[in-house]
Amino acid sequence: MSQQALQTLGEFIIEKQDDFKYSTGELSRLISSIRIATKIVNREVNKAGIADIIGKVGTENIQGEEQQKLDVLANDIFIAALSQREVVCGIASEENDDFIEVKCTENAHLSKYVVLIDPLDGSSNIDVNVSVGTIFSIYRRVSDPGSPVELRDFLQKGVNQVAAGYVVYGSSTMIVYTTGNGVNGFTLDPSIGTYYLSHKDIKFPTSGKIYSINEGNYAKFPQGVKDYIKYCQEEEDDRPYTSRYIGSLVSDFHRNMLKGGIYIYPSTSQSPKGKLRLLYEANPMAFLTEQAGGKCSDGFKRIMEIEPTELHQRIPFFCGSAAMVTKAEEFMAKAV
Ligand code: AHM
Ligand code: MG
């Protein structure tokens, strides 16, 4: 295929800028900054094996989990790329305890956007060469422009998202994002460092045959989830379904969105709120899911309508093909 015939992400961003009434180009610049950072992170992830930069740095993040060097590096890369370009007034990262106020210049202070980011999700997979990802979520600030950002600028419901997306650093590196007009995916040509539009207007198949859940935790799952797993395994109609779980949210999500499937990270008896974070993982994935025609809930209610109360809040997460999520919710409701 001739590369000249393909649209680059840069061209796509410029073309789509006109979709927004009264657009100032600020969101386009912000997405372009993310694009640049992903290429740098991609380079680091790719060379991780040979560069011997994998290892523990001896610090722990707010959730008390061990950080690996690449998490720290990816976090620094995104924060630098976003704060140096006058495109955001605040950044919250899964790797930082508190949000960051961006005040490097007067202009940046006036920016109307905040970004929430999980710079390197699934990082425990890096040292075994399994795909990892970046997840991001963009909101318009609610406090007055020009004043320092506040916690409430970040604690917004998912329905307020202006844009969200992820990068999968996989056998190919892809960026997939939405600004509320459907979901598009771009694949990186590493030889020239350019993303090309490869997956236009992605839609979740309405149903599917894949279920993704960490079944090692089965004994600790709520009864509704146990019942749904049993349903997935029954020999009836198009079942049993296929079990696929990478343990890297972005990769599991990406596969399910393209092939049809459901991803569940439920509450467990040990972690009643589950594992995934509402602001850094659940909400951006929920926005993408809904934009692709899928469904996303905490097992009972829509993820994007949940009022956040803290930056690192966790939430049970059911996400995927609409018919499959609806079915899982039926089992949850029956078991209450
Ligand atoms: P992380 O943000 O600490 O990397 O954790 C999130 C990851 C997800 O990518 C993945 O879906 C999940 O944790 C796997 O958790 P588990 O190993 O408990 O199944
Ligand atoms: Mg994460």
**DSSP codes, 248-300:** -HHHHHHHHHHH-EEEEE---SS-TT-SSBIIIIIHHHHHHHHHTT-EEESSS
| Residue 249 Cβ < 6 Å to ligand 1 | yes
Question: Is residue 147 a contact partner of residue 51, using CB atoms and an 8 Å limit?
Answer: no
| Residue 65 Cβ < 6 Å to ligand 1 | yes
Are 77 and 128 contained in the same domain? Answer: yes
What separation in Å is there between the alpha carbon of 118 and the centre of ligand 2? 6
Print the domain residue range for 112. 7-200
- The rounded distance, in Å, linking the Cα atoms of 89 and 293 is 31
What separation in Å is there between the alpha carbon of 23 and the centre of ligand 2? 31
- The rounded distance, in Å, linking the Cα atoms of 322 and 301 is 13
Are 231 and 265 contained in the same domain? Answer: yes
Report the DSSP beta bridge partners of residue 278: none
pTM of the model: 0.93
Is the CA virtual torsion 48, 51, 55, 57 positive or negative? negative
Are 213 and 165 contained in the same domain? Answer: no
Q: What pLDDT was estimated at residue 147?
A: 87
Are 11 and 60 contained in the same domain? Answer: yes
- Ligand closest to 61 (CA) is 1
Are 253 and 298 contained in the same domain? Answer: yes
3-class DSSP state of 69: helix
Residue of the CA atom closest to atom 16 of ligand 1: 247
Are 129 and 225 contained in the same domain? Answer: no
Q: What pLDDT was estimated at residue 26?
A: 86
Query: Is position 2 within any domain?
Result: no
Query: Is position 237 within any domain?
Result: yes
What's the residue count for the chain?
336
Query: Is position 175 within any domain?
Result: yes
Are 156 and 246 contained in the same domain? Answer: no
Query: Which residues are found with C-beta within 5 Å of the ion, ligand 2?
Result: 118, 121
pLDDT digits (tens, 9 = 90+) for 222-273: 999 999 999 999 999 999 999 999 999 999 999 999 999 999 999 999 999 9
Contact residues for 286 (Cβ-Cβ < 8 A; gap 6+): 158, 296, 302, 303, 304, 319
Are 27 and 88 contained in the same domain? Answer: yes
Of 166, 200, 234, the residue at which a domain comes to its end is 200
3-class DSSP state of 32: helix
Q: What pLDDT was estimated at residue 62?
A: 63
Which atom of ligand 1 lies closest to the CA of 132? 9
Domain count, the chain: 2
Are 110 and 14 contained in the same domain? Answer: yes
Of 184, 200, 216, the residue at which a domain comes to its end is 200
Are 184 and 252 contained in the same domain? Answer: no
pLDDT under 50 in the chain at which residues?
3, 53
Are 235 and 187 contained in the same domain? Answer: no
Phi, psi of 96 (to 5 degrees): -115, 145
Query: Is position 1 within any domain?
Result: no
What separation in Å is there between the alpha carbon of 94 and the centre of ligand 2? 7
Q: What pLDDT was estimated at residue 60?
A: 59
Q: How buried is residue 156: exposed, middle or buried, by Cβ count under 10 Å (0-12/13-18/19+)?
A: buried
Are 275 and 192 contained in the same domain? Answer: no
Residue of the CA atom closest to atom 11 of ligand 1: 249
Which atom of ligand 1 lies closest to the CA of 94? 2
Query: Position 58: which residue type?
Result: G
CATH of the domain at 301: 3.40.190.80
